[in-house]
Amino acid sequence: MKFAIADPPYLGRAYRWYGINGRGKGGGKNRADQHPEAHLWDQPETHIQLARSLMANYDGFAIAASSHSLSTYLSVIPTHSENGIKIMTWIKPGSFPGGSRIINSWEAVIVKVPKERKGRHKGKLIVDYLICPSPRKKYVGTKPSQWTNWVLDAMGIEMNDTVDDLFIGSGTVSQIIAERLAI
């Protein structure tokens, strides 16, 4: 089966962190790579296109999403239980305060589990939340290895599957995918 993990720049934050003049000034500790097309990810239509592409081209997928972009994705992803869509939550203790007085300490993960992998007998049981701090030593947006393993388990990945990392940032997600599929 064919799977994908998508961790795109978050809606409304792309240019700020990845744009040429944004905070992610490229290289260095906690800095993101710069992308001249980052501003496109600040448009809901780009996220809608991503969701449609995932639904059309993959048996299963996971999308990392901010609370602000969740409604955009769910406007096009059918969430009926028979479609295998689950909304999971990554809780990030010790999150840094942003520009708001309410500290954003969680992220949504939209997961599509193929029908053949949904049943209890199709893999180990997992919970729909992960409590794990965000890594501090890599680029902005880096996911911890626990996050990637949790997502792979949720999708029901097996040895002969393929998993595409659609947004290779720090390389952590791709590394964990390669390790899991090589076992």
**DSSP codes joined into one string, 117-145:** G-SGGGS----SEEE-PPPSSS-TTPPPH
The number of beta carbons lying within 10 Å of the beta carbon of residue 31 is 15
Lowest mean pLDDT among 27-36, 66-75, 100-109: 27-36
The residue with greater pLDDT, 25 or 159, is 159
d(CA 42, CA 142): 19
Judge whether residue 179 has pLDDT over 90. Answer: yes
Is the model's pLDDT at 28 over the cut of 50? no
Per-residue pLDDT for 106 more than 60? Answer: yes
- DSSP calls for 52-121: HHHHHH-SEEEEEE-TTTHHHHHTTS---GGGTEEEEEEE-TTPPP-SSSS---EEEEEEE--GGG-SGG
Q: Is the pLDDT of residue 122 over 70?
A: no
Do the Cβ atoms of 163 and 135 come closer than 8 Å? no
Average pLDDT, the chain: 83
pTM: 0.85
Task: Work out the angle at residue 147's Cα, subtended by the Cα atoms of residues 116 and 128, and round it to the nearest 5 degrees.
Answer: 55
Contacting residues for 161 by C-beta, under 8 A, at least 6 apart: 1, 2, 3, 181
Region 1-21: mean pLDDT is: 76
pLDDT at 117: 85
Question: What type of residue is 97?
Answer: P
Looking at CATH, the fold of the domain delimited by 2-182 is given as Rossmann fold (3.40.50)
For residues 18 and 76, the answer to whether their CB atoms sit within 8 Å is: no
For 21-45, what is the mean pLDDT? 61
